[in-house]
Amino acid sequence: MEGEGSYLVERPSGLEMGNRFLSLAVDTSKGLQPNMLFSKHTSLTYADLPYLYRVQGKWEIPAFLGADRAKAKGSLTLTLKGKIGPAVIAQRFQVPQNEPYIEEVLTVENQGSDDLATPGLAMGFARSLDDEAPRDCRIISVPFRRDLRGTRGEYQEYSLDEIAMNHGFFCPRWPQREATKEFGAEGWIWTYGDTSLLVAKHAPELIEFSILSTEEVGGKAAIRFGGACVWHGDPEEGTRIEPGSRLSFSATRYVLVQGGLREGYYAFRNYMESLGHKTPRDFDPPVHWNELYDNPLWWQGDSFENRRRLYTLAHMEDEAAKAREVGCEALYLDPGWDTAFGSSIWASYRLKDAKEFVKLMGEKYGLKVSLHMPLAAWCDVTAYPLEAHKRDREGAMQEGLCGTSPAYLKTKKQRLIELAKAGFAYYMYDGSGFTGPCWDASHGHSIPLTRSEHCRAVLELIQAVHRMNPALIIELHDPILAGVPERYAPMHYLHGVGPSFDEGWAFEYMWDPMDDLISGRAVSLYYYNMAYSLPLYIHIDLRKDNENALEFWWYASTCRHLGIGGKHMDPKVWDAHKRAMRTYMRLRKFYTQGIFLGLEEEVHLHRLPGEKRLVLNVFNLEAKAMVKVINLDLSQLGFAKASNVSEGKWTLEGDRLSVELELEGRDARVLEILCS
């Protein structure tokens, strides 16, 4: 029955399935046509036109082949089958008994005798933009409402009309942007009144996004959403399907959410956490001191001679002394520690034997040692076998390495594993970007090499190390674009596919972290944390900071793994950093393992389960002083009252806490709230 958990019933024109939150109607009288997605709570219709299917050049209605029903504990599954030419489409919808979502997975099988070219494949629900469309609806990108390079006032948030009238953008190669009528994100939140619909894509094994697009359906303007889509050539696996083969696209979940933007973001985070994309239990990464900022090698130019002169044991001991003074736990070695850029061969002639170096740092300075580990795109090619080079169409050897060549992978694995045996604590997989097309058939990859194959090779290098040393922390940059403030693949892509990476990279906000913050670019980290608890790593240049340690606290609050470097010339600022580090180390579990709650862009709340206190980070990014009032409903956080707030004027009325705080220009404060 409709009122009791999930249900599936016959209708005159087809089928209806749903639960007490959402319903899906499917018309099978004229082909396969899921044609209504409806919220029972708000009586809002999210999809009101026939589902759109484009396997090749045009929109078509699949011939209906039948439906399979299955009932498992806690859910119902309906698999619809349709056919367009040689393509058989299986569309599986799952509805749980008492959870507010419907999940969809699309599979396309080629039953023909020839390859099925599908570079324009697109499928999705359709919502008409007629007079009855909810004009107050806002559609918000997840996880980056603030684009990684977006400045203040710029948001990836649109009305239905704005999506219909404007173009989105796609960044195939930083810093270029290509206009597109299709908007891509990992998820979208449709806010309307006090209820929202989250449309989220889970894509750990395909580079696939949730797409919004304007279409014309039966002479009507409409928005297509959900389903599956090949967007600018991704997922590559979806652009051509061989005879007898099939491809299952990534799952899309449609979640009814009580609330707006914040609650929608948390719903996305809950979804990702339920699938394992979250902070590991007892996550405890060492706070890094990065020697790069004060090391003249990077600023004078990297060369063999400069490495010999400027990257010595004496230089590293100078940096280790700073790390110990400020309170860091590990010395992070950026480019310079190996014999050549990306060789992954320890330069023992300058730095002692690797094991001896690790022992020295531990015994003399109390520090672990972490390594910058460039992959194929950035490696000095002279450090690898000739067989690892790329080849062009004519078979001529090219300058760069092929990241999937057996010679490169074998050599790199051996060197990574050998270094791990020396006792290093952490690898940063930088230079992870796509190495470009390669036509060398002896490498065993497609001709030419695909982006997906490149990414799998990167994963192979992660897994090789983790199988030998599971405790070694591995960070992975974007596997297609590396070393740029941009993101190509979904944040959870490759995560959890076997032993995988432990943390991601905070989008290159390392070079001018203060400007990134004041401009608004680094506010993207606020939204990331509302959408993900999957850890990010950053190291920041403290030489750009102020006496209020503004940049220190912003990145400490938004990056679960913190790295710092660059001793400030002003002793007052250096002292401020030492004080900030003492506070951070005392509260570090709130930042590394806690739950991030975004009250507003400049107010972050950190809650650690089991602790009867809260940590509140408050920021003023403006040049002028200001007074900020923060209101908290303690009952929503599991507390009845507060007994003390470490600073500011505070009042308590029942379970509602109000804190008034005076902030200087470009200020940062850390408040502790004791609760019961």
List, in sequence order, the alpha helices (H) in 137-182: 160-165
Say what the pLDDT of residue 102 is: 98
Closest to 511 (Cα-Cα) out of 521, 497, 499? 521
- Is pLDDT of 173 > 80? no
- Is pLDDT of 3 > 50? no
- Is pLDDT of 31 > 60? yes
Q: How far apart are the first and last CA of the chain?
A: 44
- Is pLDDT of 166 > 80? no
**pLDDT tens, 220-263?**
889 999 999 999 999 999 999 999 999 999 999 999 999 999 99
**What does CATH list as the number for 288-505?**
3.20.20.70
Which residues of 402-507 form beta strands (DSSP E)? 426-430, 473-476, 503-505
* Other C-beta atoms lying within 10 Å of the C-beta of residue 571: 9
Say what the pLDDT of residue 178 is: 77
**pLDDT tens, 547-572?**
999 999 999 999 999 999 999 999 99
pTM, full prediction: 0.97
Say what the pLDDT of residue 174 is: 63
Arithmetic mean of pLDDT, 380-384? 97
Of the pLDDT bands very low, low, confident and very high (cuts 50, 70, 90), residue 180 is confident
Helix (H, G, I), strand (E, B) or coil at 597: strand
Of the pLDDT bands very low, low, confident and very high (cuts 50, 70, 90), residue 162 is confident
Q: How does the average pLDDT of the chain come out, rounded?
A: 95
d(CA 503, CA 279): 9
Peptide bond into 235 cis (omega under 30): yes
List the structure tokens of 571: 């002793």
Arithmetic mean of pLDDT, 444-464? 98
Say what the pLDDT of residue 136 is: 85
Peptide bond into 335 cis (omega under 30): no
**pLDDT tens, 275-299?**
999 999 999 999 999 999 999 998 9
**pLDDT tens, 69-85?**
999 888 999 999 999 99
Say which range, 128-137, 236-245, 475-484, 641-650, has the weakest mean pLDDT.
128-137
How do the domains of the chain map onto residue ranges?
7-274, 288-505, 613-675
Which helix (H) or strand (E) segment holds residue 255: the answer is strand 251-258
Arithmetic mean of pLDDT, 208-218? 93
Query: How far does Cα 559 stand from its chain's mean position?
Result: 12
Say what the pLDDT of residue 2 is: 44
- Is pLDDT of 1 > 50? no
**pLDDT tens, 470-527?**
999 999 999 999 888 999 999 999 999 999 999 999 999 999 999 999 999 999 999 9
> When comparing pLDDT for 652 and 220, which is higher?
652
- Is pLDDT of 655 > 50? yes
Closest to 432 (Cα-Cα) out of 458, 470, 395? 458
Say what the pLDDT of residue 460 is: 98
* Other C-beta atoms lying within 10 Å of the C-beta of residue 71: 10
Decide: 118 and 60 in contact? Cβ < 8 Å.
Answer: no
Say what the pLDDT of residue 165 is: 81
Of the pLDDT bands very low, low, confident and very high (cuts 50, 70, 90), residue 172 is low
- Is pLDDT of 177 > 80? no
d(CA 160, CA 608): 39
Q: What secondary structure does DSSP assign to 267-323, as a single string?
A: HHHHHHHHTT-SPPTT--PPPEEEGGGG-HHHHH---HHHHHHHSSHHHHHHHHHHH
- Is pLDDT of 182 > 70? yes
Q: Residue 608 region, left (φ>0) first, then alpha (ψ -120 to 50), else beta? A: beta
Closest to 154 (Cα-Cα) out of 165, 143, 141, 145? 145
What topology does CATH give the domain 7-274?
Beta-galactosidase; Chain A, domain 5 (2.70.98)
